[in-house]
Structure 1
Amino acid sequence: MADTKREIERKYEATPDTRLPDLSRVTGVSAVLDLGTAELDAVYHDTADLRLAAASITLRRRTGGGDAGWHLKLPVAPGVRDEITAPLSDSLPRALAALVRARVRGAGIGPVVRLRSSRAVHHLVDADGTLLAEVSRDAVRAERLTGPDRPTAAWDEIEIELGDDRDPAFLDLVARKFRKAGIQPSAAPSKLARALAETGLEPPVRPTPEPHDAGGHLLAYLREQSEALLSHDPAVRRDLPDSVHQMRVATRRLRSAFRSYRRLLDRSVTDPIGEELKWLAGELGVARDQEVLTERLRAGLDALPRTLLLGPVRGRLRIWSAAHGSGARRRALTTLDSRRYRALLDSLDALLADPPLLKPAGAPAERALPRAIRKDFDRLAARIDHALALPPGPDRDLAMHDARKAAKRVRYAGEAAVPALGKPAKRFARRMKSVQSLLGDHQDSVVARDTLRDLGIQSHAAGESAFTWGLLHAREQSAADAREAELPATWSRAADPALRAALGE
Structure 2
Amino acid sequence: MSASHSIEIELKFDVDAGLPAPDLSDLVAGGSTAEPETYLLEATYFDTPDTLLAKNRMTLRRRTGGTDAGWHLKRPSSVPGGRKETAVGFDDADQESVPATLREQVLTVVRSEPLIPVATITTDRTVTVVLDADGVSLAEFCEDIVSAESLLPGGSVNRWAEWEFELTGGDAKLLKHARSALRSAGAREASSVSKLARAIGTQPHDDLIRALPKKATALGLVQYDLATHRDALLAWDPIARENGPDAVHQMRVASRKIRSILTSYPGVIAPEAAAPVAEELRRLAEVLGDARDREVRLAANEHLLARENPPADLVKALIDDERTQHERALKSMRYALSTPRYLRLLDDLDKLIDAPIPGPAARRDARDVAADAIGGAYARMVKAEKRLRKHTPWSPEWVEQLHTIRKRAKAVRYTAESAEPLGKKAFARAGKDAKRVQSHLGVFQDTAVNRAHLAEVAADPQLSREALFVLGRLDAQEESRGRRAVKKYRRSR
Which secondary structure state, in structure 2, belongs to the residue aligned with residue 25 of structure 1?
Answer: coil
Structure 1 spans left out of the alignment, 5+ residues: 493-505
Number of the residue aligned with 1:478: 480
Give 3-state SS (helix, strand or coil) of 1:37's partner. strand
Q: CA deviation at 1:99?
A: 2.2
Please show how residues 97-496 of structure 1 align to structure 2 within 5 Å. 97-147=103-153, 149-163=154-168, 166-179=170-183, 181=185, 183-197=187-201, 201-202=202-203, 211-212=212-213, 213-214=216-217, 215-302=219-306, 304=307, 306=309, 309=310, 312-387=313-388, 390=391, 391-421=393-423, 425-426=427-428, 428-458=430-460, 461-462=463-464, 464-490=466-492, 492=493
User: What's the offset of the Cα at 1:216?
Assistant: 1.9
TM-score normalised by the chain length of structure 1? 0.88
Distance, in Å, in 1 between the alignment partners of 2:198 and 2:430 is: 44
> Counterparts of 1:65-76 in structure 2 under 5 Å?
65-76=66-77
User: Where in structure 2 are there 5+ consecutive unaligned residues?
Assistant: none
Q: How far apart, CA to CA, are the structure 1 residues paired with 2:400 and 2:173?
A: 50
Shift of 1:324: 1.4
Q: Distance in 1 between matches of 2:386 and 2:189?
A: 58
Partners of 2:152 and 2:200 within 8 A in 1: no
Find the aligned partners of 2:188 and 2:404 in 1 and give their Cα distance. Answer: 56
How far apart, in 1, do the equivalents of 2:195 and 2:333 lie?
Answer: 34
2:59 counterpart of 1:58: yes
Moved more, 125-134 or 459-468: 459-468
Residues 56, 204 of structure 2: 8 Å contact kept: no
Q: Distance in 2 between matches of 1:23 and 1:429?
A: 55
One-letter amino acid of the counterpart of residue 121, structure 2: L
**1:430 to partner: Cα distance:** 4.0
Cα shift at 1:286:
0.7
* Partner-residue secondary structure (3-state), 2:394: coil
Aligned residue identity for 2:399 = D
- Offset, 1:107: 1.4
Q: Which moved more, 1:357-366 or 1:104-113?
A: 357-366
Q: Is the 8 A contact 1:36 1:121 kept in 2?
A: yes
Decide whether aligned partners of structure 1 residues 191 and 380 sit closer, same or farther in structure 2, where only a CA change above 3 A counts. farther
In structure 1, how many angstroms separate the alpha carbons of the residues matched to 2:191 and 2:225? Answer: 28
TM-aligned CA distance change 1:151 to 1:349, over 3 Å? same
Partner of 2:97: 91
CA contact (8 A) 2:444 2:485 kept: yes
Higher deviation after alignment, 406-415 or 416-425: 416-425
Aligned residues: 483
Matches of 1:138 and 1:433, distance apart in 2 = 54
Q: 1:242 to 1:155 in 2, by over 3 A?
A: same
Q: RMSD value over aligned CA atoms?
A: 2.5
Change (3 A) 1:28 1:341: farther
- Equivalent in the alignment of 1:498: none
How far did residue 284 of structure 1 move?
Answer: 1.3
**CA distance in 1: counterparts of 2:242 and 2:208, whole angstroms:** 31
What is the TM-score normalised by the length of structure 2? 0.90
Range that drifts further, 469-478 or 12-21: 12-21
Amino acid at match of 2:471: W
**Relative to structure 1, is the Cα distance of residues 291 and 13 closer, same or farther in structure 2, using a 3 angstrom cutoff?**
same
* Cα distance change, pair 480–350 in 1 and its aligned pair in 2 (3 A): same
Q: Which amino acid aligns with 2:159?
A: A
Q: 1:169 to 1:368 in 2, by over 3 A?
A: farther
The structural deviation recorded for 1:251 is 0.6
- Counterparts of 1:364 and 1:19 in 2: how far apart (Å)? 62
CA distance in 2, matches of 1:133, 1:37: 16
**Matched-pair contact (CA < 8 Å) for 1:38–1:118:** yes
SS in 1 for 2:34: strand
Equivalent-residue separation in structure 2 for 1:450 and 1:112 (angstroms): 55
SS at match of 1:65: coil
Instruction: Please list every run of at least 4 consecutive aligned residues from structure 1 whose deviation after the TM superposition is greater than 6 angstroms.
Output: 203-209
Quick one: which amino acid aligns to residue 367 of structure 1?
D
